[in-house]
């Protein structure tokens, strides 16, 4: 007598960056003893997933630990197929799964893009912590703009708003408070993300899903999260499946230069 049984899946979810659960689902369908694993990605950005399978009498089209990139707003995206090896013998499978936002396989990006300073025209601001800063930017190409509480934050580059965290009020000068960062996350056309962090409570004026233009008002600066005082933390990166980031140095237009890397301790004026 032919016997067939299936052991279904277990999720291990990666939330190292986000305070929300990403809107993505994984599920299985069985047809003629073949199991298909699908994903519905309801986010406005690609999502990356990694699977490790344990199989009995089955082969899989996806090698263990390979990263699959699921396009944005995609239904029934095929992740893998499991096919019996011996048709008249029992089979089983299980898998662990982790996922994260963005294209974790991405390597290239627009290296020539010139960013706008993320503050108002006519203002001069100091970079009080720059790339590889000693306080909180070790091994990180991030910039801290010395913006006062409630200062307007403008988009340094056009893109899609893919996350807004707006409800935190706490802060402290310790990494344990990073989970209280109010932030806006924007996806750029080349697949990179910009993180604008430490906004004040209810300081965002854009919403998830909105298209923003360069120099558009995003919100107002604050000191929420991992911060000792009001400022804007700005960083551009490619996200990885384990929550780590590939940080990208960004050139800005200033009153003195059409394209320059900003340096810690220096002042920059926006005249456009």
Q: What is the pLDDT of residues 88-134, one digit of tens each?
A: 888 889 998 999 999 999 999 999 999 999 999 999 999 988 886 56
3 contacts: CB under 8 Å, gap ≥ 6: 89, 90
* Predicted TM-score of the model (pTM): 0.89
Q: How confident is the model at residue 206 (pLDDT cuts 50, 70, 90)?
A: very high
What are the structural domain ranges in the chain?
10-101, 114-269
CATH of domain 10-101: 2.60.40
Mean pLDDT over residues 200-215, rounded? 97
Q: What is the pLDDT of residue 7?
A: 41
Q: Tell which CATH architecture fits domain 114-269.
A: Distorted Sandwich (2.70)
Mean pLDDT over residues 134-159, rounded? 88
50 sits in the region (left: phi over 0; alpha: psi -120 to 50; else beta) called beta
Closest CA to 149 of 228, 203, 224, 222: 222
The answer to whether the CB of 18 falls within 8 A of the CB of 101 is: yes
**Average pLDDT in the chain:** 89
């Amino acid at each position: 007598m032919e016997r067939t049984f299936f052991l279904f899946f277990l999720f291990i979810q990666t939330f190292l960056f986000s305070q929300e659960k990403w809107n993505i689902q994984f599920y299985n369908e069985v047809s003629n003893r073949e199991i298909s694993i699908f994903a519905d990605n309801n986010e406005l950005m690609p999502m990356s997933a990694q699977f490790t399978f344990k199989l009995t009498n089955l082969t899989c089209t996806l090698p263990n630990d390979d990263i699959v990139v699921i396009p944005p707003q995609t239904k029934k995206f095929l992740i893998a197929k499991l096919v019996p090896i011996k048709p008249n013998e029992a089979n089983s499978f299980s898998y662990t799964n982790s996922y994260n936002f963005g294209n974790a396989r991405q390597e290239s990006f627009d290296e020539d893009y010139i960013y706008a300073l993320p503050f108002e025209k006519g203002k001069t601001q100091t970079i009080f912590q720059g790339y590889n800063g000693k306080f909180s930017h070790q091994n990180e190409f991030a910039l801290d703009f010395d913006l006062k509480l409630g200062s307007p934050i403008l988009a340094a580059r056009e893109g899609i708003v893919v996350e807004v965290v707006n409800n935190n009020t706490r802060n402290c000068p310790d990494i344990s408070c990073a989970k209280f960062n109010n932030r806006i996350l924007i996806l750029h056309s080349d697949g990179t993300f910009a993180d604008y962090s430490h906004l004040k409570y209810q300081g965002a004026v854009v919403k998830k899903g909105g298209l923003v233009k360069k120099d558009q008002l995003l919100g107002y600066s604050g000191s929420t999260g991992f911060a000792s005082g009001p400022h804007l933390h700005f960083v551009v990166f490619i996200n990885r499946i384990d929550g780590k980031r590939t940080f990208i140095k960004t050139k800005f237009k200033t009153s003195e230069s059409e394209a320059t890397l900003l340096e810690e301790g220096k002042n920059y004026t926006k005249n456009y």
